[in-house]
Amino acid sequence: MEAKPSTANLVDKIVVPGDVVLDLSSMTNQTIKLGGGLRQECDSVSVIKAGKLRFSKPNKYWVESSQKRYVPCVEDTVLGIVVDCKADNFFVDIRGPTIAFLPVLAFEGGTRRNIPKFEIGSLLYVRVVKANPGMNPELSCTDASGKAAEFGLLKDGYMFETSTGLSRMLLSSPTCPVLEELGKQLSFEIAVGLNGRVWVNAESPSTVVLVSNAIMNSESLSAVQQKIMVDKLLQRIK
Amino acid sequence: MEVDRADGRNPNQLRPLACSCSILHRAHGSASWSQGDTKVLAAVYGPKAGTKKNENPEKASIEVIWKPRTGQIGKPEKEYEIILKRTLQSICILTINPNTTTSVIIQVVHDDGALLPCAINAACAALVDAGIPMKHLAVAICCCSAESGYCILDPTKLEEQKMKGFAYLVFPNSILSVLPEGSSLVQGEPMEHGIITSVTHGAMSVDDYFHCLERGRAASAKLSDFLRRSLQSKLPGDLSKAE
């Protein structure tokens, strides 16, 4: 394939690794923010992960893709599983390349005297505080101002793993159709982590199973198809 | 020069290609690639924390496991593993996730000639499926040259055995670019004219080898297109995202 003329725009098109999407020598006076999936090489910006190229005004470019593996980023809320407890940190698995650390004092009102005790295997809803390449990410159970804000241990319920693209869709606003339709008829509690983990809790196990199956099936469906699928599932339990 | 191939193809014609991604449920990325009857399944796990003892901890490392269809793992499999590892190391960006290991597992489903190129294509598609950061993609092709000097592409197993020598060639894929033509040249040639890996068996003259290189490069453009199209169909479109 030949190089396209420089007025061609690859925004909102599917790109594969190696495609050059921006020519920086023609935009010398602007500040551009590059998100995930893009890399700067001297005067051009090229793609390193396959996906759809997105642009948001005024100056943000990123590649949207959905994987089973999570890349930790700062200020992401994720669901982690405790794998070990040490003196200073809990070791928490967040489905990334390395294990993350959760300091024992990173809780609201946490002091050395009231360190929470988590068993190995417990599920936590946490926020990523530091995510530098090459280092283990650091987590926290408080929000930026130090309040607990729903972070912490998730009891009971059922956790399943999906791709990162589906969890972004579940967290999008306005509410994604599958959750809206389910919410009209059933009552349940849900926590979605950007690392692809979803936790569902409800009074009866059949509701939990129904909600989980509906979410897992909705990955590749459009909005209308999602509504139809949820209607069919709900018909069956009536 | 007219050449009779057993399945009626002309010398520059490739076998029918098929590629499907995300077929394994537990692997982080997977792809199956088939060229005619040769079919290979590749699975990618990772990146996982930690590297092996001999590896540089400042870079990500790639580990390849080759599983033949039948029989035990022997020296030819180890050789394929080393070739694949070097090829994949040159296309992946190793500095992004230091001190991690990405495992690529290749399972041969059926071998009917051009096995290593098929495996390289499958591994590349599986790495894209898993979201491993890469500089560009790789497309691989097999060219063989016969006594009379003509060269044919993508041989079947019978054709491979009859030939004087054959070469497995791996080229970078052709890229879409917004740069004006001519500005992204490396040493005077566009990047697609580079070569990543070349493995030769048998004996061929230098001219024959260059001839094979040209034919292979021309065919790699077609493979590149096919790879791009099969990755596009697998990537999700706009679901219900609010715009």
Distance (Å, whole) CA A53 – CA A43: 19
CB-nearest partner of B179 from A20, A66, A68: A20
DSSP SS3 for B104: strand
Beta-carbon separation of B98 and A17 below 8 A: no
Q: How far is CA A133 from the centre of its chain?
A: 18
pLDDT digits (tens, 9 = 90+) for A23-43: 777 777 888 888 888 888 888
State both tokens at A211. 């909600």
Min Cα separation A113/chain B (Å):
33
Q: What is the pLDDT of residue B183?
A: 58
Ramachandran angles phi, psi of A166, nearest 5°:
-70, -40
- CA distance, residue A1 to nearest chain B CA (Å): 6
**pLDDT tens digits, one per residue of A73-128:** 888 899 999 999 988 889 999 988 889 999 988 888 888 888 888 899 999 999 99
Nearest C-alpha of chain A: how many angstroms from B36? 25
Q: Is A221 on the interface with B (CB under 8 A)?
A: yes
A·B CB contacts under 8 A: 139
Note the ipTM here.
0.84
Show which of residues 25-44 on chain B sit within 8 Å of chain A, judged by CB atoms.
Answer: 28-29
3-state secondary structure (DSSP) of residue A67: coil
What's the topology of domain A77-153?
Answer: OB fold (Dihydrolipoamide Acetyltransferase, E2P) (2.40.50)
**CATH no. for A5-64:** 2.40.50.100
CB contact under 8 A, B176 and A69: no
What is the rounded CA–CA span in Å between residue A133 and residue B160? 46
Position B40 scores a pLDDT of 95
- List of E strands, A37-108: 38-41, 44-47, 51-56, 60-64, 77-85, 89-93, 100-103
Domain ranges of chain B: 17-178+192-233
Average pLDDT estimate for B94-115: 90
- Separation in Å, CA A59 to CA A13, A50, A73, A142, B177: 17, 21, 20, 31, 19
Place of tokens 């230091």: B98
Cα–Cα nearest to B102, from B171, B27, B32: B27
Chain-chain contact of A39 with B133 (C-beta, under 8 angstroms)? yes
Is the domain covering B17-178+192-233 a CATH 3.30.230.70 domain? yes
A119: left (phi over 0), alpha (psi -120 to 50) or beta: beta
What is the CATH superfamily name and number for domain A158-236?
K Homology domain, type 1 (3.30.1370.10)
How far apart CA B129 and CA A50 sit, in angstroms, is 8
Token pair in block for residue B199:
């493995």
Q: Choose the closest CB to A17 out of B137, B232, B236.
A: B137
- Same topology, domains A77-153 and A158-236? Answer is no
Q: Check CB contact under 8 Å for A17 and B184.
A: no
pLDDT tens digit sequence for B16-27: 999 999 899 889
Query: Virtual CA dihedral for A41, A44, A47, A52, nearest 10 degrees?
Result: 150
Give the gap in angstroms from C-alpha B39 to the nearest C-alpha of chain A: 23
Q: What pLDDT sits at residue A144?
A: 82
Count, residues in chain B: 243
Mean pLDDT of B161-170: 86
| pTM for this prediction | 0.88
Q: Which of A198, A74, A81, A82 is nearest to A128 (CA)?
A: A74
Chain A residue numbers with beta carbons less than 8 Å from the beta carbon of B239 are: 169, 220-223
Q: Which member of A5, A44, A49 has the closest CB to residue B184?
A: A44
Taking the Cβ of residue B179 and every Cβ of chain A, the question of whether any pair is shorter than 8 Å is answered with yes
Computed on alpha carbons and rounded to an integer, the radius of gyration of chain A in Å comes to 21
- Return the domain boundaries, chain A: 5-64, 77-153, 158-236
CA–CA gap between residue B223 and residue B141 (Å, rounded): 9
Q: For residue B168, which phi and psi values (nearest 5 degrees)?
A: -100, 125
Widest pairwise Cα distance in chain B:
63
